[in-house]
Amino acid sequence: MPGSWNELYRAAPLRDGEFETLSGVSLAPVYGPKGPVNPDGDSYDQAAELPGEYPFTRGPHASMYRSKLWTMRMFAGFGTAVDTNHRFREILKAGGSGLSTAFDLPTLMGRDSDDPKSEGEVGKCGVAIDTVEDMHDLFDKIDVSKVTTSMTINSPAPIILAMFIQAAEERGINRALLGGTLQNDILKEYQAQKEYRFPPRQSVRLVVDTFRFCTNEMPKWHPISVSGYHIREAGSTAAQELAFTLANGFGYVEAGIKAGLEVDSFAPNLSFFFNAHIDFFEEIAKFRAARRIWARWMKGRYGAKSVKSMQLRFHTQTSGVSLTAQQPEVNIVRTALEALAGVMGGTQSLHTNSMDEVLALPTEKAARIALRTQQVIAHETGVANVADPLGGSYYVEALTDEIEAQAEAVFSHLDDLGAGSMIEGIYAAIENGYFVSEIANASYQLEKKISSGKRIVVGVNAFEGGGDEDQIPTLVIGEEVEAEQKRRLNKVKSQRDSAALIRALRNLRRAAVDSSQNTMPFLIDAVRVRATVGEVMNALEEVFGTWRESSAI
C-alpha cells in the first residue's frame, strides 16, 4: 500500500556495510512483537508501531541509521574567530560531519567585546563575534553550502543569522543553499539559562520573524532548535526537561500561526535539542515519548497535515552537569554511555562532551576523544543496525508511558494558566516564577540525594581517588585574546561608513516599532554596513525595552 513502512524503507538509500552481528547473524531493520520485520513482505503485525510511521515513537524515519548515521556535530568555540576556525577544521579533518558554534558570554548577551561589561569574559566560554568580519574568519576555508552549521545563541540569534547570511553571500553563496540550525529558543532563557535582554513577547516576535524569513528564503535552514538541554543542566528532571521543552515548541507554533503562517509551512523546519543524561533507560524513554507527544499534538491540536510537521527531529548533547572535576578521565565513560542513550533513543545529531569540560574549554586531544566516542558507537557496536532496539522492552515502554503522563500534566497546567493558549500560559508561568521554582526544587532534591550518599557519584562521594591522577592538561585563554579581539573590532569600526550605519540602525528601529514588518531584512542591511552585535541589540532595546525577573521569584 502507498506510504506503507515497506515502501518508505525501500525508498531510502542504504549506507554501505553489512547489517549483521559479529557472529554473522543477519539483522532485520526493525523488530516487532512477532519478531523481525521483513521490508519485502507483510508478515509483521500491521497494528504494531514502526519507525517512520505516526506517532513516530520508534523513530522519525523508516530506515533510521541504516540509511544515514546521525550527524556528528561537535560543539566548539573559543578565543577569536581565527582560533575557532582552526578547531573547526580539525574537527572536520577528524571525521566530524557538522559544526556547532559556541559563543562567548558577551556575544550571548548581545554585547560587544569593547563593552565595559564584557571585560574579562571575551573569548573565554566560546568564540567572540562582533561583526561580519568575524563571521568571515570563523568559516574561512570551510564551504558553508556543504557543511551544516549550528549556532547556539538566543537573544541575539537573528543578528548572528544575519551576519552568517551576509558573510556567505559576500563569498558568493546564496542564502537558499545554507543548511544548519539557529538555536533561537528565547523562552527557555527566561526559564533556565537567563541570557535575555528584551521582554518575552518582544523576543518571541523576533523568533517568529526568523520563521517567516527562513520559510520564504532559506528552505534548508532550521530557524529554531527548541532546547531542553539548558533546562536540564539547570537541574530539572527528565520529565520536566521534556515537558517544558515541548510546551515551548507548542508555544512557538501558536505564535507562528497567530502571525499568519500556515502550520505546515514552517513546522517541518522546527528542530529540538535535548540533553542525554546519565540515567540510561530513562533518557531513551524520554526521547521516545518526545516524538510521540509532538506527533499527537501537532496533528490533533494544531491541525498539521504534513507528516514532516509531526516528525520531531532533534540534536542531542551529552550532559555537562554530570561530569566531575574529580577523576576527569572517568568522564569519558559517562559521555560514552550518555551518547549511547542518545543513539538508542533515535537522535538525528549528536555532540559528545569532552572529559575536561568541567575544568575548562576542551583541549584538541580531549575533543578528538569525544568525537572518537561517537565513531566507536556508530561503527563498532552494531547499535545503528536496528531501529529502536529497546522497543517492546517492558521497562522502557513503561518508562515511556510514565514520562509522557508527567509531561501531559505540565501541559494541562500551562494550558489552564493561558486559558487555552499554550504561549500565553508560558508567559504567565515565566512571570509567576513557575518554571524557575520547579527546576530549583528538582535540583535541590537531587543534590540532597548526592550529599546524603543515597545517590553515588563515582569519585565525588564514593570511590574517591586523589593526588596527581586528577590532573590533566587544560586549555587556557590568555588576556591577549581580549586585546586582540578589541583590536579587530576597532579596525572594522574605523573603516566603515558611519552615515550608512546611522541610516541602517534608524530603519531597523522603525521596523521594530511596526509589528507587521519583518526585522530580518533590516538586520541584514545593518550588519552589511558592519553594525556590531552590540549596536544592533542596543537599537532594538530602545524600542523593546529590557526584562528583569520578578524579585518575588
- The pLDDT, as a whole number, for residue 551 is 59
Residue 42's pLDDT is 61
Give the tens place of pLDDT for each residue, 512-536: 999 999 999 999 999 999 999 999 9
> Quick one: average pLDDT of 407-435?
98
d(CA 129, CA 143): 19
- What proportion of the chain, given as a percentage, has pLDDT over 90? 92
> What local confidence, expressed as pLDDT, does residue 158 receive?
98
Q: Which domains are assigned to the chain?
A: 67-452 (3.20.20.240)
pLDDT, residue 47, reads 62
pLDDT-based confidence at residue 40 (cuts at 50, 70, 90): confident
What's the longest Cα–Cα distance across the chain?
Answer: 72
Confidence (pLDDT) at 2: 46
- 241 vs 234: CA distance, rounded Å: 10
CB atoms within 10 A of CB 117: 12
Report, as an integer, the average pLDDT of 462-469: 75
d(CA 25, CA 65): 18
Task: Give the closest residue to 69 by CA, choosing from 5, 14, 151, 11.
Answer: 14
Residue 44: predicted pLDDT: 59
Cell of 359: 575544568
pLDDT band at 447 (very low <50, low <70, confident <90, very high): very high
Confidence of residue 467 (pLDDT cuts 50, 70, 90): low
- Contact status, residue 245 vs residue 231, Cβ threshold 8 Å: yes
Q: With the C-alpha atoms ordered 434, 436, 442, 444, is the resulting torsion angle positive or negative?
A: negative
Cβ–Cβ under 8 Å, residues 356 and 363: yes
Q: Quick one: residue 453, left, alpha or beta (phi over 0 = left, psi -120 to 50 = alpha)?
A: left
Q: What is the pLDDT of residue 466?
A: 66
Q: Is the pLDDT of residue 553 over 60?
A: no
Q: Is the pLDDT at 43 greater than 80, yes or no?
A: no
pLDDT of residue 1: 39
pLDDT in tens, 132-161: 999 999 999 999 999 999 999 999 999 999
How many C-beta atoms lie closer than 10 Å to residue 551's C-beta?
5
pLDDT tens digits, 355-403: 999 999 999 999 999 999 999 999 999 999 999 999 999 999 999 999 9
For position 34, what pLDDT does the model report? 86
Task: Name the nearest CA neighbour of 493 among 460, 535, 553, 543.
Answer: 535
70-91 average pLDDT score? 95
Cell of 362: 576542551
**Amino acid in the structure at residue 234:** A
Evaluate if residue 281 carries a pLDDT over 80: yes
- pLDDT one-digit tens code per residue, 179-193: 999 999 999 999 999
Share of the chain above pLDDT 70, in %: 97
When comparing pLDDT for 33 and 427, which is higher? 427
* Grid-cell match 510521540, residue found: 292
pLDDT tens digits, residue range 313-323?
999 999 999 99
pTM of the model: 0.95
Q: Which amino acid is at 298?
A: M
Does 419 have pLDDT greater than 60? yes
Q: Which residues pair with 102 in a beta bridge?
A: 152
3-state SS, residue 314: strand
Mean pLDDT, the chain, rounded, equals 95
With b meaning 16 or more CB within 10 Å and e meaning fewer, what string describes 333-348?
Answer: ebbbbbbbbbbbbbbb
